[in-house]
Every structure is written in C-alpha cells, then in structure tokens.
Amino acid sequence: MSLKKIGKTFFRIKQKDPGQIRQAVLLVEGGFILPNNFVLIVRNVKEKFQNARITVLTFEERVTLLREYFPEIEFITPRSKNKRFGLYMELWKTISRKFDFIVLSALDIVPLILSLGCAKARVLLHNRWFEWYQVRQRTAGDVLRGVRSTDSQRRNKNYSLKDILKSIGRLFVLVRHLNDDTEIATDILMLDNGYTPVDHLLAAIRSCEETFIKPKITLITFQARQQCIIDHFPKVRLYTAGEKANSAALVGQLFGLRNQRFNTILLTTLDMMPIVFAKGFTTANVLLYNQWHQWWGIELKDMKEYLVDVFRFLILIPVMAYLLVASGIILLRTFIRLRFLTMRHLWKLT
C-alpha cells in the first residue's frame, strides 16, 4: 500500500471552486449614517478587500440604491417590523456563517457584542469619517501595560444613556488605528517540491494574487529556481531548501517556519510528508493547487467520519459472510454435480 493510499485514511481531500476559496467579509450598517455616506463606506470596503466575497447587512430601503452601484455584492435585510431589532437578529443568524472579517460602520453596542463574542472573525471599524480601526477585546496584559484606544472621534462627554453605555463598554474593548494594509494581509506559505514545472509554480502564485486579500506570499524552493521566481514576482519572499530537490530539506524548512502563523499553506503536488507536517505542526488552512489549475482543500478526518467507516465495516462483515457461505454452497453443489456426472459417464462405459 502506497503512502498516498495510507494518507487518504487520515485526510479528507475535497475539490473547491475559487468562490469557496475566496475570503468572506461582512459589513454591518450602524445607526445614523446617511445613505450616500454608507455608499462610500461600501465602496471603501470593496476597495480595501479586493478579491473577497462581500456581504452587506443593511436596511431594506438602502438596498435599491446600493444595488445600482454594487450589483455583485450580496445584501441581507431584516424582516422584522422593528428595523433595529431585526438587524440585530439577522446579524445573530448571519455570523454563524464563516467570515474572515466583520466590518462595523459604527460602534453600536449590540453588533459589537455579537461580533466579538459570537464570531471567530477579525472585527474592524470603518466609521462615517472613513477611518479604519481594529477592534478587539481588552486583555489583562493591555490593562497592565496601560494600552489605550486611539480612536480620534470619541466623545469627551456623555450626553445620553447610550453614551454612558458606550463609555462602559470601552473598558472591555480596545480600538486601535489600522496603520496599513499589511495588518489585514493574508500570509501564504507555498511549498515547491523541486519537481513541479516552473510555469505551474508561477501560475499558482498568480492565482493566489487573484484570489486572496492582499496576499503576502512566502515560497520555499530550491536554488535552481530562485532567480526565475524573482524575475517574475520580486515581492515574493523566498527561502531555499538547498541546491537540488530534496523532500527532507523541504520539510525541515517548513518545520523551521512553523511559528510564523501563516493563514494558508499551499501545495502544488500531493506529497504526503509536507501535508503531515503542515497539519501536525501548524494551524494554517492547507490547500492544493494542482497541475489542472484546480483548488482542493486538505483536512484531517474527524471522529464522525471514522465512526461512519467503522459502521460500514461492521455492516460489511455479515454481508461478506453471507456472500462467502452462498458462494461456498454454489461451489459445493457444482462440485457434487460434476462428480455425479463423471461417475455416471464411467458407469455407462463399463
């Protein structure tokens, strides 16, 4: 049995279309934003997160205007008569979907609590003044270091109960300026086994640039290919695993980069050792971009799948036993009949 067949026992490989590979962004409309301002916010989000699948949670009366400018974007509207309550309920249902980023257009209390407490996505703020901030829960380390929020539009005085609640909420939340696009970039580690055609390797890099949000690509390759990649993609960060193709050197270089927290590890061939190390020593999403330019996801099988396999095996046991007994009976009957025919033929001859 080959290593690839053994690997299929532990890993699940499933083909994905580019739409499934693309990262997802949810934009949530806040209160008291003018329609034209929200159009500009949607435009800025679309420009910031190029290549992403964008979903906008807004009110029904805004959708017609927004569709004129952004026909490719998915819009979700509340169905409740109470618009604000309906928006919160739709947000509660929507965040169960997998999003990489949630962008708030205002620091409203309920959307902020739902985004930080119920979703695994990174939370950003793009307010009516078109400023970008990162929003996260304040940790004990932040309190000890005296880290403060840096949002410039914060009110110095509280004029209402809502302002008081927001000030209390800021004790648990940290709002920091989003300095540059590198903070939302997708860190991708590509592995070159040394045998993949260079044209296919270049096509994989090009496909990453067209699929992911501001990709920062790191490539582990070999010295013979290094100059060719630099000529086509000078921004790609390169690590060399030696002069000639060597699987052990490639895995060793991968193990040395395990703590750099890559979002995605991309393979160009289905080699077992890089897959084992990628899934065993990192938390990155492992993808395959094969020679037919298809995307495949590689995941460890969960306990449910193993239980299903065991259940199928247990079902096969009586089925196989029945088939063996039935085939044995058929063979025995055939053998007895042949013996009988042979004896009768011999009796006639005598």
Look over the chain and give the mean of its residue pLDDT values, rounded to a whole number: 85
Query: Where do the DSSP E strands lie in the chain?
Result: 11-16, 24-28, 53-57, 74-76, 101-104, 122-126, 132-137, 173-177, 186-191, 215-221, 237-240, 264-267, 285-289, 295-300
Residue 198 lies in a domain: yes
Task: Compute the distance between CA of residue 127 and CA of residue 105 in angstroms, rounded to an integer.
Answer: 5
Q: Are 35 and 69 in contact (CB under 8 A)?
A: no
Residue 3 lies in a domain: no
Statement: residue 24 has pLDDT above 80: yes
Burial (CB count within 10 angstroms: exposed 0-12, middle 13-18, buried 19+), residue 116: middle
Tell me the average pLDDT across 114-133.
91
User: Any residues with CB less than 8 A from the CB of 147 and at least 6 apart, and which?
Assistant: 138, 174
Give the tens place of pLDDT for each residue, 252-302. Answer: 888 888 888 899 999 998 888 888 888 878 888 999 999 898 999 988 777
Residues in the chain: 350
Give the tens place of pLDDT for each residue, 64-103. Answer: 999 999 999 999 998 877 888 888 899 999 988 889 999 9
Tell me the average pLDDT across 205-214.
93
Residue that is last in its domain, among 148, 163, 182: 182
Q: What is the 3-state secondary structure (H, E, C) of 209-275?
A: HHHCCCEEEEEEECHHHHHHHHHHCCCCEEEECCCCCCHHHHHHHHHHCHHHCCCEEEECCCCHHHH
pTM for this structure?
Answer: 0.80
| Three-class DSSP category at 43 | helix
Residue 16 lies in a domain: no
Q: Are residues 32 and 97 in the same domain?
A: yes
For position 11, what pLDDT does the model report? 78
Residue 4 lies in a domain: no
| CATH code of the domain containing 260 | 3.40.50.10160
User: How does residue 158 score in pLDDT terms, banded at 50, 70 and 90?
Assistant: low
Statement: residue 154 has pLDDT above 70: no
Highest-confidence segment of 43-52, 273-282, 325-334: 43-52
Q: Are residues 159 and 210 in the same domain?
A: no
Q: Are residues 172 and 266 in the same domain?
A: no
In terms of residue numbers, what domain contains 79? Answer: 22-182
Nearest-CA neighbor of 26 among 128, 82, 97?
97
Q: Are residues 199 and 276 in the same domain?
A: yes
Q: Are residues 118 and 136 in the same domain?
A: yes
Burial (CB count within 10 angstroms: exposed 0-12, middle 13-18, buried 19+), residue 143: exposed
For position 1, what pLDDT does the model report? 43
Residue that is last in its domain, among 182, 215, 232: 182
Q: Are residues 49 and 194 in the same domain?
A: no
* Domains identified in the chain, total number: 3
Q: Name the more confident of 73 and 149.
A: 73
Helix axes 3-10, 272-281, angle to 10 degrees: 30
Statement: residue 163 has pLDDT above 50: yes
Statement: residue 157 has pLDDT above 60: no
Residue 9 lies in a domain: no
SS3 content of the chain, % helix, strand, coil (to 5): 50, 20, 30
**Count of Cβ atoms closer than 10 Å to residue 19 Cβ:** 9
Statement: residue 168 has pLDDT above 80: no
Q: Nearest 5 degrees, angle CA 111-CA 115-CA 118?
A: 120
Residue that is last in its domain, among 140, 163, 182: 182
Q: Are residues 101 and 48 in the same domain?
A: yes
Q: Which amino acid belongs to residue 76?
A: I
Q: Are 44 and 69 in contact (CB under 8 A)?
A: no
For position 42, what pLDDT does the model report? 95
Nearest-CA neighbor of 287 among 276, 299, 277?
299
| Three-class DSSP category at 160 | coil
User: Any residues with CB less than 8 A from the CB of 321 and at least 6 apart, and which?
Assistant: none
Residue 258 lies in a domain: yes
Cα–Cα distances (Å) from 16 to 20, 267, 270, 312, in that order, read 6, 14, 15, 27
User: Any residues with CB less than 8 A from the CB of 78 and at least 6 apart, and which?
Assistant: 59, 60, 85, 86, 87, 89, 90
User: Any residues with CB less than 8 A from the CB of 167 and at least 6 apart, and which?
Assistant: 158
Task: Compute the distance between CA of residue 139 and CA of residue 116 in angstroms, rounded to an integer.
Answer: 13
**% of the chain residues with pLDDT over 90:** 34
Task: Compute the distance between CA of residue 107 and CA of residue 193 in angstroms, rounded to an integer.
Answer: 47
Statement: residue 7 has pLDDT above 70: no
Kindly provide the b/e burial profile for residues 298-320, where b requires at least 16 CB atoms within 10 angstroms of the residue's own CB. beeeeeeeeeeeeeeeeeeeeee
Burial (CB count within 10 angstroms: exposed 0-12, middle 13-18, buried 19+), residue 191: buried
Task: Compute the distance between CA of residue 51 and CA of residue 279 in angstroms, rounded to an integer.
Answer: 26
Q: Are residues 27 and 171 in the same domain?
A: yes
